Amino acid sequence: MFINRSKSLAYIFLSLGSLLPAGRAYSQDWAKAVIKNQQRVDLRDLGYPDVNEIPVNSSAITSLLTARDGMIYGGTSGDEAYLFLFDPAINKVRHLGKIPGQSGIHHAMVEDKNGNIFIGTGKNIFEEVTLSKWGEGDDLLDVTLWKDIKKHFQDYEGGHLYCYRPARSNRDVKLVDMDAEVEDLGIPLKNNSVYALTINPEGDEIYGLTYPDDHFFIYNIALKKFTDLGEIDPQKVFHGPERQWRTIARALICDDSGRVFMSGNKGMLVYYDPGSGTLVKTDIELPGDYYYLQFYEDYTAVEYFARDANGLIYGGTTDGYLFSLDPEKMQLNNLGKVRGDRRLRCLTVGKDGKVYLMAGEISASRPCQFYSYDPQRSHFENLGLLIADRSPYYYRRGQQFDAMVTGLDGTIYLGESERKSHLWIYIP
């Protein structure tokens, strides 16, 4: 799990370098930094090494949240799901414990009006799905894939919604095998993961998506009640980028009016209207790689959302496109694609107004690269690989990322999603 061949080769090359004749220097031309001021890039261990650091195979960061008090909360996926926080005041990550029996927290952390943190759990998204050998039956490929996915989830009770109360629990120091102090609020949908969460502007109603059945649900915090609004997209497509996972929206976002945006059938924009209590389908198509051939029915989905200070929504798709959405005008603009490969993995809007984004696939040959988009100039800038170079103390290249947020002071926080992961920090 999370094995990165390019890193393994890097370690071999570095080891061989120690055997070369003394006095001769060899540069790593294949891993040059693009960001000029490297002091602006760094990383933090997820806890204290050899004491309470989140263990390997459980440290892939797949959720990040900036709380109103400036704390950065994170959730991991792997063998077990863990919670942590980064406190800018002490410049350290604090481990908050594991959630027993849970293996994933995917884009599913929100803060309510009282400062409590709500966490949605599910299966580890990096977990391999056992696939049937195509051609053994009469089913088409997409039918076979759907049967394999349903089989993968058939014995899974379902992801839970939990509540973590920082005012009560942040002061407690956890060892690596200790549980997080969370309240179990129940399972939104049986045999499904909680795939994404967002919360309304008032901070009293949570909205979520499930995987694989693609249901939209509501959780009323005061009433402690789930409401299932049913399936968003009845069509099952496997557009990718992971062929063993069904293509559905991977993120939700609220506008100032309380409408909840997501993607749906045919890659069209869908939103929940709190006034009518219904899901509304639009004719606004998300940008994607569409090939209009006979019988072609695949389509893209939204990967990640973020908002700027004026309420403009930015989103990224599984095909790697960045777009903006003006929710008042209901106008979507395709801002372009930064690379030929698919996936815009995560993004955030900086205090400088620029959009920072990660593009790339889960592949050693297509690692994530860091970019920025300046809306004032309609311009992308390639920031390259993230490299934290504190030689001779440590040197690391970040290649896989699945979460990103902006701190209150403008610092960009990036969640690495490797076998052994770190919280990365970039100061624009």
pLDDT tens per residue across span 243-278: 678 999 999 999 999 999 999 999 999 999 999 999
pLDDT of residue 134: 66
| Rounded Cα distance, 282 and 278, in Å | 13
pLDDT tens per residue, range 42-94: 999 999 998 899 999 999 999 999 999 999 999 999 999 999 999 999 999 99
Class of domain 30-426: mainly beta
pLDDT of residue 28: 46
Nearest to 44 by CA among 28, 30, 64, 27: 64
Alpha carbon separation from 304 to 181, 249, 325, 346 (Å, rounded) = 28, 9, 13, 5
| Rounded Cα distance, 367 and 14, in Å | 20
**Count of alpha carbons within 13 angstroms of residue 74, beta-carbon side:** 37
Pairing of strands 412-416, 268-273: unpaired
| Rounded Cα distance, 101 and 81, in Å | 8
**Other residues' Cβ atoms within 10 Å of the Cβ of residue 165:** 14
**Other residues' Cβ atoms within 10 Å of the Cβ of residue 324:** 17
| Rounded Cα distance, 194 and 367, in Å | 27
3-state secondary structure of 362: coil
The DSSP bridge partners found for residue 183 are 163
Q: Please give the chain's pLDDT, 428 residues, in tens.
A: 444 444 444 444 444 444 444 444 444 445 678 998 889 999 999 999 988 999 999 999 999 999 999 999 999 999 999 999 999 999 999 999 999 999 999 999 999 999 999 999 999 999 988 888 765 665 677 888 899 999 999 999 999 999 999 999 998 888 888 999 999 999 999 999 999 999 999 999 999 999 999 999 999 999 999 999 999 999 999 987 776 789 999 999 999 999 999 999 999 999 999 999 999 999 999 999 887 665 567 899 999 999 999 999 999 999 999 999 999 999 999 999 998 888 999 999 999 999 999 999 888 778 899 999 999 999 999 999 999 999 999 999 999 999 999 999 999 999 999 999 999 999 99
* DSSP element (H, E) containing 7: helix 5-17
What percent of the chain lies above the pLDDT cut of 70? 90
pLDDT of residue 1: 42
Alpha carbon 127 to chain centroid, angstroms:
15
DSSP string, 156-183: -----EEEE-HHHHTT----TTPBP-EE
Q: What are phi and psi of 266, to 5 degrees?
A: 65, 15
* DSSP element (H, E) containing 82: strand 81-87
Nearest to 425 by CA among 410, 353, 82, 4: 410
Pairing of strands 72-77, 60-66: antiparallel
Q: What strands, in cross-sheet order, belong to the sheet with 268-273? A: 253-254, 260-263, 268-273, 278-285
pLDDT of residue 138: 58
What percent of the chain lies above the pLDDT cut of 90? 78
pLDDT of residue 54: 96
pLDDT of residue 132: 85
pLDDT of residue 121: 98
pLDDT of residue 278: 97
Question: pTM here?
Answer: 0.91
Amino acid (1-letter code) at residue 204: D
Greatest distance between any 2 Cα atoms in the chain = 74
